[in-house]
Amino acid sequence: MSQLVQPHGGKGLKPLLAPATERAAEVARAKKLKQILMSSKETSDVLMLSMGAYTPLDGFMGRDDWHSVCADMKLKNGLFWPIPITLTADQALADSIGAGEEVALVDEESGTVMAIMQVNEKFALSDADKAFEAQHVYTTTDVKHPGVQKVNEQKAVALAGPISVIDEGAFPSQFADLYQRPAEARAAFTEKGWSKVAAFQTRNPMHRSHEYLAKIAIEVTDGVYIHQVLGKLKAGDIPAETRTKAIQAMIDGYFVPGTVIQAGYPIEMRYAGPREALFHALIRQNFGCSHLIVGRDHAGVGDYYGPFDAQHIFDKLWPGALETVPLKIDITFYCSKCMGMATAKTCPHDKQYQVNISGTKQREMLTAGEDIPPEFSRPEVVKVLQEYYKNLD
């Protein structure tokens, strides 16, 4: 009998998607309400709330929760939460909304009415507030950091209150074989008899280092949940359609059947490094995963974070903050003397024998049309990626 970790907060999953029988009427009602246009990040958060991935939140955060999350990684009630979830609007629109008034949340890119929100609180987000959030969550106020850019792009006033989601957008149909809600993931794990499940977070196709991390996890758990980002990425990242094909080629050729589930979820990356690693663990707890694989520079970007900062931050948590724990693994590489993948803990040889593998390096090689050696990536994976880059010309 499968016994999975409990959803965050210990009171069961809290999906905010309205019942199917009510959605058509709610969409019609929403069109008569004031409309709040959402950025891609805010739309992504609505989708995560919809499926229960942000359990136990019931909507967007008020000022007390926002401040406490930024400063202390906990909600005002003391529950662990490392990343603020906020929605913003222009000053004039915010001023027109009365206390307790319902508004429609609309994806600005597609024009789709996604949710109805009851606005219970409004609070200003000044430039000083944005700098406060950036420094605490991202440890930098550098405007070149993509996460800091998103913080600075927020509008003048944050709106807080519970939401009811009435449209899940395009992801469920666009990625019908991949899109999985927490309840569905938990059902899949239970069906397989898995209790210990390791999540592998990725926004990149998986090269040999990623494959090695996943196989280490399989050795110590019941199976691995390769859980990839379907939401908006930074420029230059490989789109989900191509990434999915490449990962599946690796799974089909190099993993024992029944040890891996590949799925996707609609989050938009923040690139917050250590804080985002904690956030990924919290979300995976809601999905039923007991472990999160945390390797080198998890959820980082550029040189803003040290290679193991995302591992060390878990040591700073208080008892009971999270049930899902990190599976910390050293930097991996291919050793020509060992004739296989290794880490500094398992390989005694000099660095001259090591082939260091990274997604950034692989993208550079593919862009330049260079051959990818088998020590770097599996040929079946390379074939999928080369086809994608060839069509970019």
214-224, pLDDT tens digit by residue?
999 999 999 99
pLDDT at 76: 98
DSSP strands (E only) in 247-306: 260-265, 291-294
Q: Of residues 186, 203, 243, 270, which has the active-site annotation?
A: 203
pLDDT at 357: 87
Task: Tell me, yes or no, if 275 is annotated catalytic.
Answer: no
Q: Of residues 204, 270, 284, 296, which has the active-site annotation?
A: 204
Nearest to 167 by CA among 27, 340, 371: 27
d(CA 58, CA 50): 9
For tokens 């609070």, the residue is 123
Question: Across residues 106-126, what is the average pLDDT?
Answer: 97
pTM for this predicted structure: 0.95
Task: Tell me, yes or no, if 203 is annotated catalytic.
Answer: yes
> Regarding predicted confidence, which is higher, 230 or 132?
132
pLDDT tens per residue, range 197-214: 999 998 888 999 999 999
For the cut 90, the answer to whether the pLDDT of residue 2 exceeds it is no
d(CA 342, CA 369): 27
For the cut 80, the answer to whether the pLDDT of residue 111 exceeds it is yes
Which amino acid appears at position 387 of this protein? E
pLDDT at 1: 53
Q: Which CATH superfamily is domain 20-167 in?
A: Sulfate adenylyltransferase (3.10.400.10)
> What are the extents of the domains in the chain?
20-167, 173-392
Architecture of the domain made up of 173-392? 3-Layer(aba) Sandwich (3.40)
Q: Is 20-167's fold the same as 173-392's?
A: no
For the cut 90, the answer to whether the pLDDT of residue 312 exceeds it is yes
